[in-house]
Amino acid sequence: MHIHVLGICGTFMGGLAALAREGGHTVTGCDAGVYPPMSDQLRALGIELVEGYGAEQLSFTPDLFVVGNVITRGNPLMEAILDAGAPYVSGPQWLADHVLQGRHVLAVAGTHGKTSTTSMLAWMLEKGGLEPGFLVGGVPLNFGISARLGKVAPGTPFVIEADEYDTAFFDKRSKFVHYRPRTAILNNLEFDHADIFDDLAAIERQFHHLVRTVPAHGRLVVNSREESLQRVLAMGCWSEVTRFGARKEEPGALRARGEPHAFDVLRGSLKIGRVEWSLLGEHNQLNALAAVGAAEHVGVAPDVAAKALASFENVRRRLELRGEAGGVKVYDDFAHHPTAIRTTVNGLRRKVGAARILAVFEPRSNTMKLGAMKAQLPWSLEEADLAFCHSGGLGWDAVQALAPMGKQAVVSDSIDDLVKRIVAASRPGDHVLCMSNGGFGGIHQQLLDALARARP
């Protein structure tokens, strides 16, 4: 089959394209910006890429156009596809029909931690000898790729990051309802995606639709601490439930005893595994418990799963140290929701102790651009010594939103100006934490270059 992928350079659609190519399909694709690293990965696989969405791409005459959720009505190529009556399908639907059918799908859902938890789970299954397939919204360092088919046979495991964002302009259901998992992690649930959901209840309803697709002999691995997830289960549940993260002993539930970097995994009062690894933060501890509960459902014993984490290398852009210059360390992280910002800053705080943290963030997601969570920003940055906000492109007043932080917060609408202010405020021994779900204008390297010039 020849498929032509619209929006191919996104992490999900790029991973889908890689899976299709590995499966023997002819793959071409296009995007508004054909850029590395995804463009380099795809070209290395022999996938022809086209810049832009020109209607002339209809002449590729593929068997099927696979449409990413960045595509809207009015897109020239999409309009040509519709006018021609050419066959098209959403990315999640194509994946369900051509990759996931017949596999034991393990889906990882939640507002936060999906990429890290999916990567942990895939690594546990790999170390357990199961040769899983996977599709991750990032690049797990243990594998060096974001997607692979793994061992293909009926019932073999496939681990997928299960996003609640909508599927396509013609299918407004959440992506994850297409995946039909036998094992589903419900990691956490907060309000997000204000551009498509009116409130938290609307997202809870989509999570309930996911729960409806899990078979009676399937397993739901659910965070005990999240009231929103308890409401989801109260709408109806037909599968086995394994809970995790309880703060006190709960029959059958998984919990941790010890610090996030070194802890026992308990079921009730019984120790069933031990995790000693390089990751920090209570959020990663909870992610690990969720992954242990899911891995067990496909036959990886909890002690084996826990031991696998000793060699887990995390995902790119998760507190990733980009370099050091002038005695200042610069980190990159994908955090963009206020809760994720708070947990990321806390994770770094646990690592560096009393050293100064300069938190640099870009409210870039659709939710943050709309200002839906601007009031939570001072709370999210409490553990940082200084906060620097890039306000370019916002429709709300970042200075006013960060006013409760007083002189602790600096706002600028220019990356160049922000770099100058950060360098001027920094001291040897500081840790600069840059957070964005985009490239942040290359601020990491700009900071390292500027710091090297300022303090040779």
Task: Identify whether residues 356 and 398 lie together within a single domain.
Answer: yes
Is the predicted pLDDT of residue 249 greater than 90, yes or no?
no
In the chain, % of residues over pLDDT 70: 97
Domain boundary among 266, 294, 311: 311
Kindly list the distances between the CA atom of residue 202 and the CA atoms of 194, 196, 226, 368, 388, in Å, as whole numbers in the listed order: 11, 9, 16, 18, 33
Domain boundary among 72, 91, 110: 91
Backbone angles phi, psi at 107, to 5 degrees: -105, 135
Pick from 38-52, 124-138, 190-204, 259-273: least confident: 190-204
CATH of residue 36's domain is 3.40.50.720
* Contacts by residues 314-317 (CB-CB < 8 Å, ≥ 24 positions apart): 314/116, 314/119, 314/140, 314/141, 314/278, 314/279, 315/115, 315/116, 315/119, 315/136, 315/138, 315/139, 315/140, 315/141, 316/138, 316/139, 316/141, 317/138
Q: What is the pLDDT of residues 97-130, one digit of tens each?
A: 999 999 999 999 998 889 999 999 999 999 999 9
DSSP classification of residue 42: H
Quote the CA–CA distance of 351 and 114 in Å, as a whole number: 22
Band (pLDDT 50/70/90 cuts) for residue 343 is confident
Quote the CA–CA distance of 426 and 433 in Å, as a whole number: 12
The pLDDT, as a whole number, for residue 418 is: 92
Q: Does residue 96 lie in a domain region?
A: no
- Amino acid identity, position 304: V
The pLDDT, as a whole number, for residue 375 is: 84
Q: Which residues contact 30 (CB under 8 A, 6 or more apart)?
A: 4, 5, 6, 7, 8, 49, 50, 51, 52, 53, 57, 77
Is the predicted pLDDT of residue 372 greater than 80, yes or no?
no
The pLDDT, as a whole number, for residue 384 is: 93
Quote the CA–CA distance of 249 and 245 in Å, as a whole number: 10
At 30, is the secondary structure helix, strand, or coil? Answer: strand
Domain total in the chain: 3
Task: Identify whether residues 416 and 338 lie together within a single domain.
Answer: yes
Burial 137-149 (b: 16+ CB within 10 A, else e): bbbbebbeebbbb
Question: Radius of gyration (Cα) for the chain, nearest Å?
Answer: 22
Quote the CA–CA distance of 169 and 196 in Å, as a whole number: 11
Is the predicted pLDDT of residue 381 greater than 70, yes or no?
yes
Q: Does residue 297 lie in a domain region?
A: yes
Task: Identify whether residues 107 and 74 lie together within a single domain.
Answer: no
Q: Does residue 149 lie in a domain region?
A: yes
Q: What is the mean pLDDT of residues 41-54?
A: 91
The pLDDT, as a whole number, for residue 40 is: 81
Is the predicted pLDDT of residue 198 greater than 90, yes or no?
no
- Output the average pLDDT for the chain: 91
Domain hosting 401: range is 320-454
Cβ–Cβ under 8 Å, residues 156 and 182: no
The residue with greater pLDDT, 199 or 185, is 185
Task: Identify whether residues 71 and 130 lie together within a single domain.
Answer: no
**Residues β-bridged to residue 361:** 389, 435
Q: What is the pLDDT of residues 64-92, one digit of tens each?
A: 999 999 999 999 999 999 999 999 999 99
Band (pLDDT 50/70/90 cuts) for residue 194 is low
Domain boundary among 38, 61, 91: 91
Q: What is the pLDDT of residues 398-415, one digit of tens each?
A: 888 888 889 898 888 889
Q: What is the pLDDT of residues 133-159, one digit of tens each?
A: 999 988 888 998 889 999 999 999 999
The pLDDT, as a whole number, for residue 36 is: 65
